[in-house]
């Protein structure tokens, strides 16, 4: 391991000096002496798996931890975990049932990264395949490339036996119609007397907001990173991306270093939320590098978010008080088992499986209030 115990403890001291709220196990330890968090976490996870995911990832963390304990590679484990969410029609941020682009077509992005081989695979703007993360894993394992997009990604998936399927569920189609009908000056009209707000089949994703006409709107995604009992790491990120996006728009989720990064000597990190901000700040790569320098996972995520805020100078993306007018959350797990997550705004949770327990924990955050 290239990060010494001493530098980890220095990182813990820096975290303890932080002023921001952290509801994670790491954050709760901030009231204790510097170093306590690290020592306690090491005692609590003596070689057991640690799996961290976005708030919609509880089934994924449970599945991945179970597979790691059964001796499976951590990449197979986290991909099997997120497959559950990709196949869930009620999660409108990922895979089957994801919200479509502006033409009503579901286009999916995903990437995987494997710590022991420092290899990765990704697909972007992939249509008609329910589990893009599995295609991304095949790009890693069965080509000497990292990223395949669009029609080429679909042909590659079909060559490996994936079946083309319609990914647009009725619920997602109704949200897309609401969005089209709410556009000012457009030709698409809501039925007379239609309800504007809400929908009785709301998405299961925690990242869903309400846009024009009450249509669901999301940058939602699932990220899942796992540490196995040998200290090996892997991660996956998968998404239907920004709702009603320009066809062909690609966010951070298939971009290694933005929506996901793994360094087997240090740790793993991933993102959900506004992908453009994660790309512009090399988010996941930078968090891993901050952990290499001794930051705790939570402090590394918070530091990256502070950079996002400082770089966000476009008035169209700022509130009158200068705060970003979008959501972004990072998740990280370090090679010693310490984990954390931080969000621009309060009230967000992330999924964790460690010490045999699967649960949601509160994300640390920069600003009070939701991003709706
Ligand atoms: N983070 C997902 C996206 O922006 O596409």
Give the domain CATH number at 124: 3.60.20.30
Q: How confident is the prediction for the chain on average, in pLDDT?
A: 85
- Domain for residue 190, yes or no? no
- The reported pLDDT for the residue numbered 6 is 36
Question: pLDDT at residue 27 above 90?
Answer: no
When pLDDT is averaged across residues 347-370 and rounded to a whole number, the result is: 95
Report which protein residue has its CA nearest ligand 1's atom 4.
275
| 323 alpha carbon – ligand 1 mean position (Å) | 20
- The reported pLDDT for the residue numbered 189 is 82
* Residues composing the chain: 372
Nearest-atom number in ligand 1 for the CA of 259 is 1
Tens digit of each residue's pLDDT (9 = 90 or more) over 299-316 = 999 999 999 999 999 999
Number of structural domains, the chain?
A: 1
- Domain for residue 100, yes or no? yes
- The reported pLDDT for the residue numbered 183 is 77
The proportion of the chain whose per-residue pLDDT surpasses 90, expressed as a percent, equals: 72
Our mutation pick for probing the ligand 1 site, out of 253, 280, 344, 371, counting the most ligand atoms within 8 A of Cβ, is 253
- Domain for residue 345, yes or no? yes
237 is an active site residue: no
- Domain for residue 139, yes or no? yes
- The reported pLDDT for the residue numbered 369 is 83
Tens digit of each residue's pLDDT (9 = 90 or more) over 62-119 = 999 999 999 999 999 999 999 999 999 998 888 898 899 999 999 999 999 999 999 9
The pair phi, psi for residue 360, each rounded to 5°, is -100, 140
239 lines ligand 1 (CB under 6 A): yes
- Domain for residue 205, yes or no? no
- Domain for residue 209, yes or no? no
CB 349 within 8 A of CB 24: no
Q: How much is the pTM? A: 0.85
- Domain for residue 208, yes or no? no
Question: pLDDT at residue 208 above 90?
Answer: no
- Domain for residue 194, yes or no? no
Domain span at residue 101 reads 27-170+214-367
Tens digit of each residue's pLDDT (9 = 90 or more) over 180-193 = 888 767 788 877 76
Q: Which of 61, 131, 218, 221 is catalytic?
A: 221
Highest-scoring range by mean pLDDT, 10-24, 163-177, 201-215, 250-264:
250-264
């Amino acid at each position: 391991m290239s990060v010494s115990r001493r530098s980890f403890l220095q990182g813990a001291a820096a975290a303890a000096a932080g002023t921001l709220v952290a509801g994670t196990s790491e954050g709760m330890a901030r009231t204790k002496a510097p170093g306590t968090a690290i020592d306690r976490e090491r005692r609590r996870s003596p070689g057991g798996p640690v799996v961290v995911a976005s708030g919609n990832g509880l089934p994924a963390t449970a599945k991945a931890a179970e597979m790691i304990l059964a001796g499976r590679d951590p990449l197979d484990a986290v991909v099997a975990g997120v497959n559950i969410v990709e196949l869930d029609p009620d999660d409108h941020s990922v895979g089957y049932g994801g919200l479509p682009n502006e033409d009503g077509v579901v286009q999916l992005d995903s990437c995987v990264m494997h710590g022991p081989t420092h290899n990765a695979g990704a697909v972007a703007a992939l249509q008609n395949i329910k589990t893009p993360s599995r295609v991304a894993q095949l790009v890693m394992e069965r080509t000497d490339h990292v990223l395949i997009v669009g029609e080429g990604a679909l042909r590659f998936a079909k060559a490996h036996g994936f079946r083309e399927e319609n990914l647009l569920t009725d619920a997602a189609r109704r949200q897309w119609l609401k969005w089209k009908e709410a556009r000012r000056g457009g030709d698409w009209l809501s039925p007379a007397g239609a309800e504007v707000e809400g929908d009785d089949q709301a998405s299961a994703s925690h990242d869903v907001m309400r846009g024009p006409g009450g249509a669901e709107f999301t940058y939602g995604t699932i990220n899942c990173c796992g540490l196995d009992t040998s200290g090996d790491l892997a991660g996956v990120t998968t998404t239907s991306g920004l709702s009603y996006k320009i066809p062909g728009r690609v966010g951070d989720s298939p971009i290694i270093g933005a929506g996901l990064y793994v360094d087997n000597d240090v740790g793993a990190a991933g993102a959900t939320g506004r992908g453009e901000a994660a790309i512009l700040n090399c988010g996941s790569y930078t968090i891993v590098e901050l952990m290499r320098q001794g930051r705790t996972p939570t402090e590394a995520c918070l530091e990256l978010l502070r950079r996002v805020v400082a770089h966000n100078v476009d008035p169209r993306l700022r509130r009158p008080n200068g705060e970003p007018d979008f959501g972004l959350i990072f998740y990280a797990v370090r090679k010693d088992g310490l984990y954390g997550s931080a969000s621009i705004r309060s009230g967000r949770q992330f999924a964790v499986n460690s010490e045999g327990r699967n649960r949601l924990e509160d994300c640390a955050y920069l600003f009070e209030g939701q991003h709706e």
